[in-house]
Amino acid sequence: MPECAKQEMIKWTNHGNPSATYPSAREAKKMMDEFRDYIAKSLGVQSCCTDRPDAADTAKRAQTIGEIAPNLYKVIFTSCGSESNCFIIRCTIEAFTLRTHVIPHVIVSAIEHKSIIALVEQLERCGYCTVSRILPKMSGHILAEDVAREIRPNTCLVSIQHANNETGAINDIAAIAAVSHKMRVPFHSDIVQSYGKIPINLVKSGIDTVSISFHKVHGAPGLGALVIKEQFLCGYHLEPLSPGGGEMQWRSGTQAPHNIAAAFAGTVFTFERMESTTRNHYTLKSELVKMLHARIPTRTFEEYMQSRKKYELECVILQDTARPRDYLPNTILMSIAKHVGETACNSLIKQKLEDAGVIVSVSSACLSSHKGASHVLLAMNVPTIISDGVIRVSMGTETTIADIRAFVNGFLAEGIRQLQITKSGKAVRDEKNK
């Protein structure tokens, strides 16, 4: 977290319950409402901070739904993006079932965040809904026409993430929202990965509701938000996921002003630097790809799959490098593909990089107890020879060209080392036990 966020967290610690009426509580509520306004503005909409209406008022407002301004959205604080995803999917399914007495149908992609994948699996297993899972293209993207083909008369919600947390692929959510609305189906998007990195306008894109997690914008872990169109709330007669008070009657529990204040500062910090940070990250990512090309055979996943030629050792990038703006600026998913002996081991690559002070992540570790490709790589039909060596590289605000160079050196050195071990007749994975 930046220093400004840390200071705000300290300042607002033990400031009281924002739902109370004593002076410090009123100050906390004012700060929170200002943050709601800032979030709404950052998404091109206007915040509506009123409490949840009672049943009679909801019915009355539903009759005049067209009179509610289309740019009016409610910002509901949650504990994280996962809770926000659960909130909107569960509540929409419940509201549709109560209104129609029909088992609803939900559309998601097969590469959504685990919070959505696990939730719809559970709801489907319990008989609360049926689910269509849209497969990605080889580029990692979800296409609007594929979503359109799955919409049914009982479809109650389409939920497609803006950008994937592994591949970084940015979906055309405006196009997906358009095909959803054409069939009068509301559209939700998990924008946890893209918020604060690329501009998003909910009204222009036609998005009804989004999930946010503020640790992605320099806040502390433990705070998210569900931003939802007032027309959707009233038109669908949505009910709280956890009733009982707290967050404008939409989520029970005492609010945490210190976390909210830190997130406020972190979000402002992020958006003030978004344009320059994004530009810098795209430049650094381009340089990273150039360095790889100069040192080792390097190609995209699609090029790899379409070619019969294979190298002893090569780098496969699971992004279309010819279209960099179709992917997040700070994320790149790549793999060492080894065609001699056993496949490359991403756990050892990660370990060697960490030993050199370079932190990367693996979506599925080749040596873990849950060995196997992630659900994202499986949905993309990524072969084992690539998935076993895959790592995700993410850049921060302080990442430099020297950091990129250190990564490339360590990444390739470990790949070459594993190839040499294989050629000597030993097993690479035995190294883990030393």
What is the rounded distance in angstroms from the CA atom of residue 371 to the CA atom of residue 364? Answer: 7
What is the rounded distance in angstroms from the CA atom of residue 226 to the CA atom of residue 233? Answer: 12
- Among 362, 356, 306, which Cα is nearest to 336's? 362
Structure tokens, 408: 């490339």
DSSP-derived secondary structure for 177-230 = HHHHHHTT--EEEE-TTTTTTS---HHHHT--EEEEEGGGGT--SS-EEEEEEH
pLDDT tens over the chain, length 434 residues: 899 999 999 999 988 888 888 988 899 999 999 999 999 999 999 998 765 555 445 555 555 666 788 899 999 999 999 999 999 999 999 999 999 999 999 999 999 999 999 999 999 999 999 999 999 999 999 999 999 999 999 999 999 999 999 999 999 999 999 999 999 999 999 999 999 999 999 999 999 999 999 999 999 999 999 999 999 988 888 998 888 777 888 888 888 999 999 999 999 999 999 999 999 999 999 999 999 999 999 999 999 999 989 899 999 999 999 999 999 999 999 999 999 888 999 999 999 999 888 888 886 655 454 567 899 999 999 999 999 999 999 999 999 999 999 999 999 999 999 989 888 877 666 655 45
Q: What are the structural domain ranges in the chain? A: 3-268, 296-433
Query: If you search the block for the tokens 């976390």, which residue do you land on?
Result: 259
Decide which of 3.30.70.1450, 3.40.710.10, 3.40.640.10, 3.30.70.260 is the CATH code for 3-268: 3.40.640.10
pTM: 0.91
- Assess contact for 72 and 229: CB atoms under 8 A: yes
Structure tokens, 177: 């929202």
Side chain identity, residue 196:
G
- Assess contact for 13 and 258: CB atoms under 8 A: yes
CATH number 3.90.105.10 given to 296-433: no
Q: How many CB atoms lie within 10 A of CB 420?
A: 13
- Sign of the dihedral through C-alpha 175, 180, 184, 188: negative
